[in-house]
Amino acid sequence: MLLTALLGLSILGAVRAQVTVYGQIPYGQTSAAFATSTRDPNATPTATTNNAYDETRLIPPTPPEDYSLAFTLNLQAANTSVPNLSILQHGTFYGFSIEMSVVTQLMGKNSSHIKVPFLNLMGLLQQRSGGVHIRVGGNTQDFAVYVDELENGEATAKEKSDLKNPTLTPAVLYTKELFHLAASISSLVNVRWYFGIPFNDTNWRLQIAEHSQAILGDNLLGLQGGNEPDYYLSHGHRQEGYGPFDYFGEFADLINAIDANPNIPVKNMLIGPSLASGPWSPEMMWETDFINAYKDNLVAITMEHYPSNNCFVQFGVGSFVDPQRTFPQFLTHQSALNLVEPYRHTSNLAREAERPFIMFETNSATCGGLPGISDSFGAALWALDYGLTMAATNFSGALLHVGGQNVYYNPFTAPPTNQTAFNQWTVGAVYYATLITAEIFGRSNQSQIVDTTNNGLLTPSYAIYDRGQLSKVALFNFMDDPSGAHDITGTITVEGGQVPPEVHVKYFEAESVAVKTNLTWAGQTLGNKFKVDGRLKGDLNITIIPCDQNANVCRVPVRAPSFALVHLNDPTKVDEDDLPITFQTTAFTKTINTATVDPEVLATSNGQSGKERSKLGSTSFGSVSGAQGLHALLPGVTVLLAMMGGAGMVMMALTR
Ligand SMILES: *[C@@H]1O[C@H](CO)[C@@H](O)[C@H](O)[C@H]1NC(C)=O
Ligand SMILES: *[C@@H]1O[C@H](CO)[C@@H](O)[C@H](O)[C@H]1NC(C)=O
Ligand SMILES: *[C@@H]1O[C@H](CO)[C@@H](O)[C@H](O)[C@H]1NC(C)=O
Ligand SMILES: *[C@@H]1O[C@H](CO)[C@@H](O)[C@H](O)[C@H]1NC(C)=O
Ligand SMILES: *[C@@H]1O[C@H](CO)[C@@H](O)[C@H](O)[C@H]1NC(C)=O
Ligand SMILES: *[C@@H]1O[C@H](CO)[C@@H](O)[C@H](O)[C@H]1NC(C)=O
Ligand SMILES: *[C@@H]1O[C@H](CO)[C@@H](O)[C@H](O)[C@H]1NC(C)=O
Ligand SMILES: *[C@@H]1O[C@H](CO)[C@@H](O)[C@H](O)[C@H]1NC(C)=O
Ligand SMILES: *[C@@H]1O[C@H](CO)[C@@H](O)[C@H](O)[C@H]1NC(C)=O
């Protein structure tokens, strides 16, 4: 049985085609990022026992009695003299780091079987930011082995032998299909990719570099050389005494190997040093002069870091981190400030070297995340604040890590293989942080952000400039108080200009920082666990708040807990440079896994009339010849052309 998805697209309005994408076919169980599993004793059993669906609900911290509930932000109308204003940011700021071993679970088994919910989740980000950056890698990249072919045409597979690497992640086998899969995705949604060159030893296995460059072309952003090398010694990948200078030497060796390889035409797209900032501090690495020595070969300076860990529970390593006691540490701006502090100098070094500085892999807690924290609304507020603080500290991007079924922190999780018939996808709270960040920085590539927090660490705030003008204000309330006694009011005044007659506010809300259900962004939700097809559901709800132009103030209430994005201009008014891409899903599949065509959703999507742009009635599934161009681009993909209007549309149909 095959679920066939017909997918239409309107990227840049140029190519209007439908591509057959197969989805949700049960296939051999691919590996989870972590080999061992420890169930939380308090979790309620569900259809599955995996951590990605854990129901632990922690107790929110009690808000302080005497917290100031009102504050004023004096903001400059123009970006000309704003202290500590960031570099220009892109809407692609938050992307994903997908563990190599779970690629087929999340993206599809090969280039002709792409998962539709994945495309839709990426499409939502593209609508807002113009694209998505994804890194495929992680611990599993270092031991990856190229093979010509895998059973059933899969792009990757878990190594079957007893050869296991010391971090308990099974070695990944991959074929060229991995890059064809990525290329097919890029032809449908504007995803661009980072891959990593295996670095477990210096007998360089360069096939990832060769095939990714050949197959992905401009959609390849860079190639990582070494993943958390500061842990190589303790993970047993290197001999005693291995330090920053050894890694520095190996990096030179890698550069030489690439220079000597005629199948790697682009020599200068490396990424490093990707320290975990565990055993080695960034400053220890900079003592080697890494940046200056390799600047010409580097496209980005990278680090990887998680603020907490669950390694004791997962692997018996370190000491127990108690989620309930740790929860409050995530619910304050102090967390974001602490996380960027070790990198302030590095961020300046990168800027001087004119290279982007990227947090290449991060999430709430390594070794799988923390039950009750990593997938809570609180974690979403944390990730959003952390992302904005990184942007304000001149990071150019950050990638949230995505693991398998057995981790708590995933931004998105495909249903377990044997549940695809009756369950849909699950979106983790932190996905909303990527969606909102994409919206905050938008598509102009000329957004700047500054941390304007002045009312205490439980209520951080930011001002966002776009094309030189104040355009948005972001207000957080980390406090949790259903009584309303800790709702706050942020007052905005504009210096060197005037507040607009009204502001358009989008709220990110849930009942409590502890919940994992019913999260809404401007009234819309992706759905609770096992209910996500990658479309936002519900009516868009933008709150219009009149300002007092005489007093030059706008007062914006923010309930406890929630986040408010205050648009100084009407966000539903689309300017010519900023045409949104509509990308909708409709699924016709068996049993519960059914979504039906909803013209209302199409009509209201992104504040724009889908009725005008998409000619639903004329949707045609007829196979049309003359698709050779796309066919060549997407090997193995059946390409069907359909004459559709501007709006893209994903259709899933059941065939046998
Ligand atoms: C700019 O940032 C630095 C470092 O965080 C801080 O010490 C300083 O107070 C900030 N300046 C202003 C005007 O906010
Ligand atoms: C590195 O990984 C490859 C592939 O998994 C393996 O064959 C090789 O023995 C590993 N090298 C070391 C030093 O562990
Ligand atoms: C993808 O997998 C399917 C099913 O296993 C297989 O029939 C098809 O040939 C594969 N496609 C490619 C391009 O390998
Ligand atoms: C970020 O870069 C800008 C220059 O574009 C600089 O003025 C600012 O101080 C930098 N911020 C930090 C935190 O280094
Ligand atoms: C799915 O597979 C897992 C692991 O093999 C098993 O524990 C679970 O009961 C299965 N679930 C269903 C609904 O078949
Ligand atoms: C923004 O930057 C991306 C990546 O560099 C580029 O593809 C896109 O065209 C830019 N958008 C605008 C509006 O300049
Ligand atoms: C202000 O914004 C414009 C347009 O994005 C940009 O070119 C300029 O560099 C910014 N100026 C400052 C001081 O950040
Ligand atoms: C979520 O929202 C639905 C519909 O509004 C409601 O029936 C349900 O009780 C809510 N669930 C939780 C856990 O808040
Ligand atoms: C829209 O959102 C606001 C803020 O959460 C809420 O007060 C209002 O009731 C919502 N309106 C609708 C129609 O849901």
Question: What are the tens digits of pLDDT across the range 516-526?
Answer: 999 999 999 99
Cβ atoms of 403 and 34 within 8 Å: the answer is yes
Domains of the chain: 1-46+574-656 (no CATH), 70-76+448-567 (2.60.40.1180), 87-444 (3.20.20.80)
Name the nearest CA neighbour of 20 among 637, 649, 627, 585.
637
418 in ligand 5 pocket by Cβ < 6 Å? yes
Residues 6+ apart with CB under 8 A from 246: 238
DSSP assignment of 55-117 equals: ---PPPPPPPTT---EEEEEEESBGGG-TTPPPPB-TT-EEEEEEGGGHHHHTEEETTEE-HH
Lowest mean pLDDT among 427-431, 558-562, 650-654: 650-654
Mean pLDDT of 2-10: 29
Atom of ligand 7 nearest to the CA of 448: 14
37 in ligand 5 pocket by Cβ < 6 Å? no
How many angstroms separate the alpha carbon of residue 446 from the centre of ligand 6? 10
Strand-pairing partners, residue 650, are 7, 585
Q: What are the backbone angles phi and psi of residue 41, rounded to the nearest 5°?
A: -65, -25
- The ligand that comes nearest to the alpha carbon of residue 238 is 2
Helix/strand/coil (H, E, C) string of 136-149? Answer: EECHHHHHCEECCC
Which residue is listed with tokens 């639903």?
616
How many angstroms separate the alpha carbon of residue 654 from the centre of ligand 7? 51
Atom of ligand 8 nearest to the CA of 518: 1
Helix/strand/coil (H, E, C) string of 258-271? Answer: HHCCCCCCCCCCEE
Three-state secondary-structure class, residue 646:
coil
> What is the pLDDT confidence band of residue 422, given thresholds at 50, 70 and 90?
confident
Identity of the amino acid at 392? A
How many angstroms separate the alpha carbon of residue 194 from the centre of ligand 2? 22
How many angstroms separate the alpha carbon of residue 456 from the centre of ligand 7? 29
Torsion angle of the four alpha carbons 280, 281, 282, 288, in this order, in degrees rounded to the nearest 10: -50
Question: What are the tens digits of pLDDT across the range 48-92?
Answer: 479 999 999 999 999 999 999 999 999 999 999 999 999 999 999
- The ligand that comes nearest to the alpha carbon of residue 345 is 4
The Cα–Cα gap between 520 and 377 comes to: 10
Mean pLDDT of 22-47: 28
Cα 170 from chain centre: 24
Could you count the other beta carbons within 10 Å of the beta carbon of residue 137?
Answer: 30
Could you count the other beta carbons within 10 Å of the beta carbon of residue 48?
Answer: 18
Residue whose CA is at the smallest distance from ligand 2 atom 13 = 201
The top-scoring range by mean pLDDT among 154-168, 529-543, 627-641 is: 529-543
pLDDT at 459 exceeding the cut of 50 = yes
Question: What are the tens digits of pLDDT across the range 391-417?
Answer: 999 999 999 999 999 999 999 999 998
Give the length of the chain. 656
Q: What is the helix (H) or strand (E) element at residue 84, kind and residue range?
A: none
Q: pTM for the full model?
A: 0.86
The Cα–Cα gap between 49 and 418 comes to: 13
Token pair belonging to 54: 């854990």
Q: According to the model, what pLDDT value does residue 339 have?
A: 98
- The ligand that comes nearest to the alpha carbon of residue 172 is 2
How many angstroms separate the alpha carbon of residue 510 from the centre of ligand 9? 12
348 in ligand 4 pocket by Cβ < 6 Å? yes
According to DSSP, residue 576 is labeled: G
Cα 122 from chain centre: 9
pLDDT at 639 exceeding the cut of 70 = no
613 in ligand 3 pocket by Cβ < 6 Å? no
How many angstroms separate the alpha carbon of residue 48 from the centre of ligand 5? 7
> What is the pLDDT confidence band of residue 575, given thresholds at 50, 70 and 90?
low
How many angstroms separate the alpha carbon of residue 85 from the centre of ligand 1? 10
74 in ligand 7 pocket by Cβ < 6 Å? no
Atom of ligand 2 nearest to the CA of 145: 4
Name the nearest CA neighbour of 124 among 547, 360, 425, 368.
425
Pocket of ligand 2 (CB under 6 A): 143, 145, 171, 200-201
Residue whose CA is at the smallest distance from ligand 4 atom 12 = 393
Pocket test for ligand 3, best of 103, 110, 111, 156 (most atoms within 8 A of CB): 110
Mean pLDDT of 301-311: 97
Token pair belonging to 292: 């200056």
Residue whose CA is at the smallest distance from ligand 1 atom 10 = 84
> What is the pLDDT confidence band of residue 170, given thresholds at 50, 70 and 90?
low
Mean pLDDT of 601-606: 27
Token pair belonging to 418: 């044997």
Residue whose CA is at the smallest distance from ligand 1 atom 13 = 83
Q: According to the model, what pLDDT value does residue 197 have?
A: 98
Cβ atoms of 492 and 75 within 8 Å: the answer is yes
How many angstroms separate the alpha carbon of residue 495 from the centre of ligand 7? 17
Question: What are the tens digits of pLDDT across the range 186-239?
Answer: 999 999 999 999 999 999 999 999 999 999 999 999 999 999 999 999 989 999
Q: According to the model, what pLDDT value does residue 417 have?
A: 85
Q: According to the model, what pLDDT value does residue 200 have?
A: 94
Token pair belonging to 603: 């009509």
Cβ atoms of 116 and 585 within 8 Å: the answer is yes
Could you count the other beta carbons within 10 Å of the beta carbon of residue 636?
Answer: 14
Lowest mean pLDDT among 263-267, 541-545, 640-644, 646-650: 640-644
How many angstroms separate the alpha carbon of residue 228 from the centre of ligand 2? 17
How many angstroms separate the alpha carbon of residue 77 from the centre of ligand 4? 19
Question: What are the tens digits of pLDDT across the range 607-631?
Answer: 222 222 222 222 222 222 222 222 2
